[in-house]
A and B are shown apart, each in its own frame.
Chain A
Amino acid sequence: MTPDVTLSIWRGDEHGGEFRDYTVPANEGEVVLDVVHRIQAELAPDLAVRWNCKAGKCGSCSAEINGKPRLLCMTRMSTLELSAPISVSPLRAFPVVRDLVSDVAFNYAVAKRIPPFTPGPRPAGGTYRMSQFDVERAQEFHKCIECFLCQDVCHVIRDHEENKTSYAGPRYLVRVAALEMHPLDTLDRRDLLRRGIGIGLCNVTKCCTEVCPESIHITDNAIIPLKERVVDAAYDPLAWLLRRILRRRSQAPAALSATALPAAQARDAAFGEAPADRTS
């Protein structure tokens, strides 16, 4: 006889819910998602959970296991203390849809506000040249699987709903870092970082780095270098003076909840009327 394991799974919707215990036999080598699937098949057919690849590559099955943001598919049962029920609950930073499924629309809305990759012209002969050393810096950020665990754990969002209008969260600072450190990109997103997506709100507690299943050094390699760039641009007294003299006009990007950025407006004009989006 294999021993039993008990998962205490949050069941409910936006009106409320409760943890319910489900006990099934344990199998060797399983991850939490395997056990959730068996509970679904045998005990609770309508238990709502997102998943896709079951190999840590798509970032769909994000949830909180014993209160910690984790991927259900990459958390081995053998790494957990099995003597007490294991709690499994939805990402807390986002509204719940049902059971383990939360509404992550906030993230998709933020993504739309970031001016896209904008390279210089393709050189003659058609091939860009980049060194491996140079691409590796941005490649680290391209590993992101958009599991949103960093968004979930970030207390700027998690504990302060009101910040969602002014702060993009670690995932999108990583996204901006990927663009800013892309060897071919030509845009300057420092003003966006400062005024549009609130990089100043991050106080580098590194919680995001700790939960990243792709081991991206979010704080050290993405956020801190971006903060330094912003500081250089915005708070350098010489640069400030120069700006005053040259009266360079800088357009302040609107807050996340307000109207689209100029770049977004330009692209909307270029591509015509877009159909109503439904990303929730």
Chain B
Amino acid sequence: MPDRETNAVDVLVIGAGGAGLRAAIEAAAAGATTAVVCKSLFGKAHTVMAEGGIAAALGNVWPEDNWKVHFRDTMRGGKMLNNWRMAQLHAQESPERVLELESWGALFDRTPDGRILQRDFGGHRYARLAHVGDRTGLELLRTLQNRAVAAGIGVFMECKILRLLTDASGAVCGALGLWRGSGEFVVFQAKAVILASGGIGKIWKFTTNSWESTGDGHALALWAGAELVDMECVQFHPTGMIWPASARGLLVTEGVRGDGGILKNREGERFMFSYIPEYYAKETADTVAEADRWYDDKTVRRPPELLPRDEVARAINAEVKAGRGSPHGGVYLDIASRRPPEYIRRRLPSMYQQFRELADVDITTQEMEVGPTCHYAMGGVRVDADTAASSVPGLFAAGEVAGGMHGANRLGGNSLSDLLVFGRRAGIAAAEYARGLPRAPKPDPAAVEAALAAALACFENASGENPYSLHHELQETMQSLVGIIRTESELISALELLDELDARAGALVVAGQRRFNPAWHLALDLESMLTVARAATLAALARRESRGGHARDDYPDADPEHFAKVNIVVRELAGAVTVSEEPIAAMPADLAALIEEAA
């Protein structure tokens, strides 16, 4: 192997968002030399986009709340597809993780008696989300960032990971990276690797996700031999910005509804009352009077605007299809007529700013136009609940890139707590795994050279298209054929188009130099995106029912007999992405009882 820049660590964390930093802090505290590598500048991870809060049953606002209710809400929100052990650990440990964050400097909004204030969100029985106005993710990320800096953790920023490296036994032993700034390659040798690379939203056209969310971790795991689970379950957030066109998809926090906002159609009708599914009828208000009482009186039922996200997104979709949408093809989100301007500006400062500056809308006096936008991948790397270990030795995954925790649909606020709970667990387990290895495994130099030759191929192609147009077509394909409502014929069309896009991706042309060349970066990201798009489409085809974030026009109902009992598992075998059904482990009786008793 020619002389390549090489960095050796015990634990390499890929991704510097909430999960990656929490994992790194824990691995370093356990004595492992730890480094974090991230695609953007340090501190810019998509976690900063989380707005409404972090769900944890602290019981500060409603003492009735506890982990059992949170567990039950999470499982029911996920339509029972969740890995129940992950949901249990998450509900049990998230309060301590939030308090820990506070002891590291996070400043949450307070209750009158000085404790952490909690707000209402969809699918949560009690006000449960610790928050900082509507910029909770920034607070979480900056707190972890400062902690990681103080802990002396190595940070390798603006570095894209191209491949995980494995040894002869198949165990992970590092990763091959590309410095985006210089265009040079770098080898990371590591005893253990933690994937914390976030989501896949950039394969859809309208998304809340930043440019980084190209499914790198999902694809890296698949290529290294790991399994993905629940890839058909994609969350379309009900409220994204609709207008102006260039802002379409930007997140409008669920906190707007949690703090009293309601949804209306073109006729001014509060339409969510027409979309209360049987599954949630017992806990959802069916009159305006009851719904409006709920904010102060938790003995009555929750407003239908605070149904889980999958339900609200489909309702908005149906209203627009029925011709009752707003001028730009969304519906109206109204908090102006419900709460005083001062309250809105204090509780939702960044929403106020976002609409004022990007859309000339004053949300304290005007309604917002909103519609569904791709937001979150429930599916991801299949992991052991307690250790975040994948099926590949030495490879761990936490945060959005990991699957199972959220089942078929994630509740708002559960992602930030997920990052902390499983980031920490991944850090502990990876450090322990690294400690147990007698010596660092060595990457195969031939594999390194082959991967970097492949990464450079697009500079050699003489004719072909530019990566921006290919990305555009991929997004159009996924948006129109693998969107919020799926059907078999469209999914098959999508697979045919993906075949074609795969072929064209091999002939992409990148001109110019290697130093900070965004066209090259996109060409490399497209490899991940095409892999993940195929995984999501194949899984969507395989689940012939509707459940949570996966809705099929041709199978509109949930199937309690068969599909309720299986996960769709994606693997790469001999270079081909394949799917199979695998049974879900039965829930222990004590946990199952929690679901029933509170229902």
Which residues in A have some Cβ–Cβ distance to B below 8 Å? 13, 27-31, 34, 40-42, 45-60, 74, 76, 97-99, 101, 103-104, 108, 111-112, 116-117, 119, 122, 126-132, 135, 138-139, 142-146, 179, 182, 184-185, 267-268, 271-280
B247 touches A29 (CB 8 A): yes
Task: Assess whether B573 is interfacial by the CB under 8 Å rule.
Answer: no
* Contact indicator A54/B357 (Cβ below 8 Å): no
Q: Are B154 and A13 in contact (CB under 8 A)?
A: no
Cβ–Cβ contact B49 & A58, under 8 A: yes
Contact A58 B114, CB 8 Å, known A52-B212, A277-B154 = no
B445 within 8 A of A: no
**Are the CB atoms of B33 and A119 closer together than 8 Å?**
no
B contact residues around A112 at 8 Å (CB): 149
Contact indicator per residue, chain B 355-393, by CB within 8 Å of chain A (1) or not (0)? 001110000000000000000000000000000000000
Interface residues of B, Cβ cutoff 8 Å to A: 7-9, 28-29, 31, 33-35, 40-44, 46, 48-49, 99, 102-105, 107-110, 112-117, 132-133, 135, 138-139, 142, 146-147, 149-157, 159, 179, 181, 210-212, 243-247, 250-251, 350, 353-354, 357-359, 466-469, 472, 510-513, 515-520
Interface of A is mostly: loop
Closest 9 CB pairs of A and B: A29-B244, A46-B512, A129-B114, A117-B105, A116-B150, A275-B154, A45-B519, A41-B468, A274-B152
Output the nearest chain A residue to B188 by Cβ-Cβ distance.
Answer: A275
Q: B133 contacts which chain A residues (CB < 8 A)?
A: 139
The answer for the CA separation of A205 and B358 in the assembled complex, in Å, is 29
Contact, CB under 8 Å: B155 / A278:
yes
Please tell me which one of the listed residues A51, A59, A279 contacts residue B157 in the complex, with CB atoms under 8 A apart: A279
A120 to B28 alpha-carbon distance, docked (Å): 23
* Residues in A neighbouring B466, C-beta threshold 8 A: 41, 45
| B516 close to A98 (CB less than 8 A) | yes
Q: A45 to nearest B CB, angstroms?
A: 4
**Residues in B whose Cβ lies below 8 Å from that of A101:** 181, 516
A277 CA / B33 CA spacing, docked (Å): 12
B28: A residues at CB distance < 8 A? 271
Instruction: Determine which of B46, B147, B152 lies in contact with A268 in the assembled complex, contact meaning CB atoms within 8 Å.
Output: B152
Cross-chain pairs A/B with CB under 8 angstroms, 23 sampled: A27-B246, A31-B246, A42-B468, A46-B510, A48-B515, A56-B353, A57-B135, A57-B350, A58-B210, A97-B181, A98-B515, A116-B149, A117-B146, A119-B105, A127-B115, A128-B102, A129-B115, A139-B107, A179-B105, A274-B33, A274-B152, A275-B33, A276-B7
Whether A97 contacts B113 by the Cβ 8 Å rule is: no
Q: Is the CB of A55 within 8 A of B250?
A: yes
A142 and B357 in contact (CB under 8 A), knowing A45-B512, A129-B115? no
Q: How far is the CB of B256 from chain A (nearest CB, A)?
A: 15
Across the two chains, which residue of chain A brings its CB closest to B154? A275
Docked Cα-Cα span, A128 to B114, in Å, equals: 8
Extra contacts besides A54-B210, A128-B103, A275-B34 (16): CB < 8 Å: A27-B246, A30-B244, A47-B518, A53-B44, A55-B250, A58-B49, A98-B516, A104-B41, A117-B150, A138-B107, A139-B107, A142-B132, A185-B105, A275-B8, A276-B154, A277-B156
- Bound together, the chains give a CA A218 to CA B583 distance in angstroms of 57
Checking A31, A144, A272, A277 against B358 with a beta-carbon cut-off of 8 angstroms, the contacting residue is A31
CB within 8 A of B48: which of A49, A58, A182, A272?
A58
Nearest Cβ distance between residue B533 and chain A, in whole angstroms?
Answer: 20
The 8 Å CB contact of B103, one of A48, A119, A271, is: A119
Measured in the bound complex, the distance between the Cα atoms of B151 and A117 in whole Å is 12
Once the chains are docked, how many angstroms separate the CA of A60 from the CA of B147? 21
Residues of B within 8 A of A278 (CB): 154-157, 159, 179
Known interface pairs A46-B511, A46-B512, A277-B154; A145-B243 also in contact (CB < 8 Å): no
Docked-complex contact B46 and A131, CB < 8 angstroms: no
Chain B nearest CB from A4 CB (Å) reads: 17
**Nearest chain B CB to A139 CB, angstrom units:** 5
* Contact status B49-A57, CB under 8 Å: yes
User: Shortest Cβ distance from B456 into chain A, in angstroms?
Assistant: 15
The answer to whether A116 touches B154 (Cβ under 8 A) is no
Q: How far is the CA of A57 from the CA of B142 in the complex (A)?
A: 12
